[in-house]
Amino acid sequence: MKTPFIFLLSCFFMFTATSQKDSFSLAQIWDGSFRTQGLNSLHSMNNGKQYSVLNFDRSTGSTSVDLYDYVTFSKVKVIATSKTMEAIPYFTNYTFSSNELKLILETNTESIFRHSVLGHYYVYDIELDQLNIISENKIQEPTFSPDGTKVAFAMNNNLFIKDLITGKTNQITFDGEKNRVINGITDWVYEEEFAFVRAFEWNINSNRIAFIRFDESDVPEFSMDVYGKDLYQTQNVFKYPKAGEKNANVSLHFYDINSDQTSIVSLPKTYIDFYIPRIKWTNDADLLSVQYLNRHQNQLDLWLINPVKVQANLVLSETDLAYVDVTDNLTFLQDNSFLWTSEKDGYNHLYHYSKNGKLKTQITKGDWEVTAYYGYNEFDNVIYYQSVENGSINRDVYSVKLNGKRKKRLTTQEGTNDASFSADFTYFIKTFSSAKIPTKYTLNDSKTGRLVRNILDNSTLLNSLNNYKYSNKEFSTINVNGNELNMWMLKPVDFDATKTYPLLMFQYSGPGSQEVANKWNNSRDYWHQFLTQQGYIVACVDGRGTGFKGSNFKKLTYLNLVKYETEDQIQAAKQIGSLSYIDNSRIGIWGWSFGGHMSTNCLLKGNNVFKMAIAVAPVTSWRFYDTIYTERFMRTPQENPGGYDDNSPFNYPELLRGDYLLVHGSGDDNVHVQHTMRMVEALIQANKQFDWSIYPDKNHGIYGGNTTMHLYTKMTNFLHEKLGDKRIN
């Protein structure tokens, strides 16, 4: 298995001992001065003994790709540096060719949507020390052919191939047009919900490309005003299929390099209104695997297609009463048998199938979930994976033989363990953290898990936190509506059980999600820490529908999103509020996105429990959200109108009794500001007073410049005014 780029850069903000104050400020959380140390864009080299890292030189502003030794962690050499490249003052990412003789360097990028970017890309020949731009125009997803002689890329919704030997660029599709046809790049909804952008793949012989074509002609358009700084605002218009509306028509195509011909794939089975969420070439250069998913997303078919013989065989069909998850775990072995993950026994596990789709072995079994698949070592016949065998809030790394025997637990510290394996599976870099221990990186032996050497431990964070009032998360479970739910609670350091405290509940609650996890803090956790220093108790409960406790628990909310989740949060608040040290007249709840929908619903339907709520970028009606995500859990509005409307808060604004803060970014391409505007209008017509704020041109993350600081100051002030008696200026 070829080891992909592994991004280990921690995005968490930490605190150092820059002050002797007992409490830290809001500014310390988001000013960017307290990032943890991490490893940037680590790539294991083919020899399995070395790895490369992207490094940034703050003194010169240049970047470099540097080669290191796994065992000694000493730098072996500089592979490429922008110091010697006049055309590139810096680069932000890199990709090796299969033979590791060339690099694609990325620079001058601009975001399109969540995952997609446009940029200038260069090919750097390491041996010749030569740099050549792929295209003078900004392009997307440049990808080496396996033999390293060509680069395929997308530009203006069409596909191109550049021959690195002749320098000639060949255009292979010609009908691409914005908001009409896209070749080889996913549309908005595929990118957001199936989490991939590049919809083209080279075969192993570098003589054929498979790609998906998206015809968006009939997909409804959504437009957003962009206010910017000019005299007149502009509009961003893009195709966005809302639940029940028309999706793009997708088709699968092959381009043959030798004949310069493109063909369309037809199957012996007729599909109507379907998705193609994954394509992947097998180890046979003439055999492509394609996954077809029906619109209800409860049947996923795996096809093996031979473009030379014009054959297509259905080798696996996965069905579910609710929905089937799409993953990136499909792995073909040398004999074209394959590994697959499935929830068909009630928990997510690994399976081994023959090349014809016959089940050979269920590799993992038990009432626990496989949470990550790392790869297969064919030399030792060993699979590496991550699971929650040690409790649903923890993660550990395991190895197991292909036949399911001789399983080994390779990590022993209780918390969240992750792994990045060397190309030959000799070593893995373990990333560990817990709620009490910040992120640590170690090099470990992959056969036993034995520690080879420490890399980074961020131990200075623990020392610096001794200078602050810092509370440890208390993990527990709470029995709510007949279910044992995972929970954490943060109390003030000077907690006094004879006193009473206001309670703020935080949650996300989306299908398969998890907020109660034994891992180190992110910036939001530090805001919760800050609130405990201000005299609040903060608690989080993962209700029904969340993940890693089996398929039945996760899919119980099918067709009724937010109904059971809301009931669980309301009941949990009642039970926590009954504790002697909680002031049950001062209970609030907050959340973002799905969590904003939840906090809104809880305030309305639990108006005798919650005094206030904050909703950031909330969904307020699933009718306004996209097809793939929404219909996976709800089917279409035409089929399930009650499921859509019975839990949409703008349908019952009259239930508002408490204090409500509603926040949205006007440039949110994901959860459109339409959700908030409809909620606002419903509350106005119901004569309900509330607070709200729109952040101009900000997307779903609501960040940029001083935005995050402003938002969290606003939320903090709202909390103090409605639940407490303090205010921050």
> Which residues are marked as active site?
593, 668, 700
Q: How many CB atoms lie within 10 A of CB 192?
A: 20
Q: Return the DSSP state at 146.
A: T
Cα end-to-end span (Å), the chain: 55
**Closest alpha carbon to 656 in 718, 617, 716, 601:** 601
CA distance 388 to 369: 6
**Closest alpha carbon to 616 in 691, 536, 521, 530:** 691
How distant is the alpha carbon of residue 646 from its chain centre? 29
**Inter-helix orientation angle 523-533/707-722, to 10°:** 30
The amino acid present at 80, given as its one-letter code, is: A
Q: Return the DSSP state at 159.
A: E
Q: Please give the structure tokens belonging to residue 720.
A: 């103090």
Q: Tokens 């209970």 — which residue?
A: 587
Taking each continuous run of H as one helix and of E as one strand, the counts in the chain are: 11, 44
What is the rounded radius of gyration, in angstroms, for the C-alpha atoms of the chain? 26
**Closest alpha carbon to 202 in 103, 93, 301, 288:** 288
Confirm if 186 and 214 have CB atoms less than 8 A apart.
yes
Q: Please give the structure tokens belonging to residue 62.
A: 């240049």
CA of 643: how far to CAs of 95, 193, 354, 559, 636, in Å?
45, 21, 41, 6, 10
In sequence order, the 6+-apart residues with CB closer than 8 A to the CB of 361 are 351, 352, 402, 403, 404
CA distance 450 to 447: 8
List % helix, strand, coil for the chain (3-state, nearest 5): 15, 40, 45
CA distance 15 to 26: 12
**Closest alpha carbon to 581 in 495, 470, 493:** 495
**Closest alpha carbon to 442 in 450, 451, 726:** 451
Phi and psi torsions of 644, nearest 5° = -75, -40
- Sheet-wide strand order for 427-433: 416-421, 427-433, 440-445, 451-456
Q: Tokens 């509009």 — which residue?
A: 235
* Residue-wise DSSP of 405-464: -S-EE---SSSEEEEEE-TTSSEEEEEEE-SSS--EEEEEETTT--EEEEEE--HHHHHH
* Residue-wise DSSP of 366-410: SSS-EEEEEEEETTTTEEEEEE-TT-TT-BEEEEEETTS-S-EE-
H or E stretch at 107: strand 102-111
